[in-house]
Amino acid sequence: MLRRLYDWTLARAAGPQAERWLAGISFANSSFFPVPPDVMQIPMSIARPERSLRYAAVSTAASVAGALLGYLIGSVLYQAVGVPLLQFYGYEAQFAEFSRTIAANGFWWMAAFAFLPVPYKVATIAAGSISLALPVLVIASVLGRGGRFFLVALILRRYGATAERLIDRYFNQLALAATVLFVGGFVVVRYAL
């Protein structure tokens, strides 16, 4: 199933709607959606390495805009939307602890959560719920998300053909590793914070 999704994504990477899908997933991932934008950005950059920096810019801009929605959920709609969303993912206790941590070291935590493969939506909602300074959120999001997406873009721009061969050859192992990282991010939020 993952292989079909990967092949489908590669086939659409050159299509006229690919960037819209990438922007939509990037936006949603920063506020409520569990699938990271890397799922689109990586195959798109492999298919069109010359556009990888553009894709990173789209991912970054949309992700920062999505972080603002997460902040809005935390600041204005916390009871109506934020609490049910956190309950759905089982993050209530971790959210309370994380909110205290963000209040103490907001910029560094926001930047780290923006860069790492952990649920960034928890951080953006927490930032809004404690009224973290909006410029801190935006700057940390630009640096963290941009750092992550542009690092991937630069690697794929330089090694796109090699990456495609490696992915084709070791797809199952790489999919397993990506799943472990993705699930690991949720475990970190659930048990380490």
Percent of the chain with pLDDT over 90: 24
H helix runs in 76-170, sequence order: 83-89, 92-115, 120-129, 134-169
- In this prediction, residue 187 carries a pLDDT of 60
**Straight-line distance from the first to the last Cα atom of the chain, in angstroms, rounded to the nearest whole number:** 33
pTM to 2 decimal places: 0.75
- What's the pLDDT at 43? 82
**Angle between helix 38-47 and 134-169 (nearest 10):** 50
Average pLDDT, the chain: 81
Q: Are 152 and 42 in contact (CB under 8 A)?
A: yes
Mean pLDDT of each 10-residue bin along the chain, 193 residues long? 64 77 90 78 85 95 96 87 79 76 82 82 86 93 94 86 70 65 59 54
Give residue 181's pLDDT. Answer: 64
The tokens for 83 are: 């609490």
Q: Is the four-CA dihedral 53, 148, 175, 167 of positive or negative sign?
A: positive
